[in-house]
Amino acid sequence: MAKKVRAIILRTAGTNCDQETAFAFRDSGADVELVHVNYLFQKVKRLDDYHILAIAGGFSYGDDISAGRILANELRLKLGQDIARFIKDGKLIIGICNGFQVLVKAGILPGSQGPDLKREEFVQQATLTTNDSGKFEDRWTYLKVSGRCAWTTGMEGIVYFPVAHGEGKFVCQNKRILRGIQDNDQVVFRYCAQDGRKTDYPGNPNGSCDEIAGITDATGHILGLMPHPERHFLFTQHPFWTRLAKKSRYGDGARVFQNGVTYIKKHC
């Protein structure tokens, strides 16, 4: 059992939400380091020294080519072996918003769909592209929790997280890949109406296929999602918290970070 859970939050030009993500992990009991990605490239810091890798929201490298593309290429080409070893060791990865875009475009998610693919061979199978609305969407969304994932253990029903993105539409390369994700219970979050029913815009703010808001890999150790759990970590971050009867310290997003830390304490 790990005496202390060590989480690394990657930073690079354009990153934001890293401080909110660090707060969430620290409050959940982890030791947190915010590390510029160049420190990993230059071997000043080693990914092996951590239990959790977090890629926070933001606009890495200004999304100059497409959202998350440059950082995704850097991680795949410069840290591919380190990340593959990190995954094989059973450690956890989370990518939020821009971080989700990075994981998908690096081929880390959804991960291998067949036994012939080695995990080191990260191949992009899906993308997150321009919202159907053609504009930046900044709103709160209801999400139905499903699938099997270490990050969402014990989470049931519907949660309420905000989104803030211009390229959040999840699309698979083909129907076979989408079916594989669905059949493997890798869809962790789906946009929904307040009562849990299927929804369209603005409940599904970007037009994602199958209302997909977040997925995991086949192991359940890697989570990528467009909505921001760190922005509803505290109960008072709910936009209508003063009107709600139930008061507590934590909001719907806290369980995600607490689950990650708890999992490492039990398994690593």
Q: What pLDDT is recorded for position 246?
A: 76
Give catalytic residues, as residue numbers: 97, 228, 230
Q: What pairing do the DSSP bridges indicate for beta strands 212-216 and 187-192?
A: antiparallel
Q: How distant is the alpha carbon of residue 52 from its chain centre?
A: 12
Q: How many residues does the chain have?
A: 268
The whole-angstrom separation of Cα 158 and Cα 43 is 42
Regions of the chain where pLDDT drops below 50: 113-119
User: What is the per-residue pLDDT for 147?
Assistant: 80
Closest C-alpha among 246, 260, 215 to residue 50: 260
- pLDDT score of 114: 44
Q: Which residue has the tokens 């390369």?
A: 173
pLDDT of residue 2: 52
Q: Which residues are within 8 A (CB) of 215 and not within 5 positions of it... i.e. 6 or more apart?
A: 109, 110, 147, 170, 181, 186, 187, 188, 223, 224, 225
Q: Say what the pLDDT of residue 112 is.
A: 65
| Domains of the chain and CATH, by start | 6-267 (3.40.50.880)
Q: Could you give the maximum distance between any two Cα atoms of the chain, in Å? A: 53
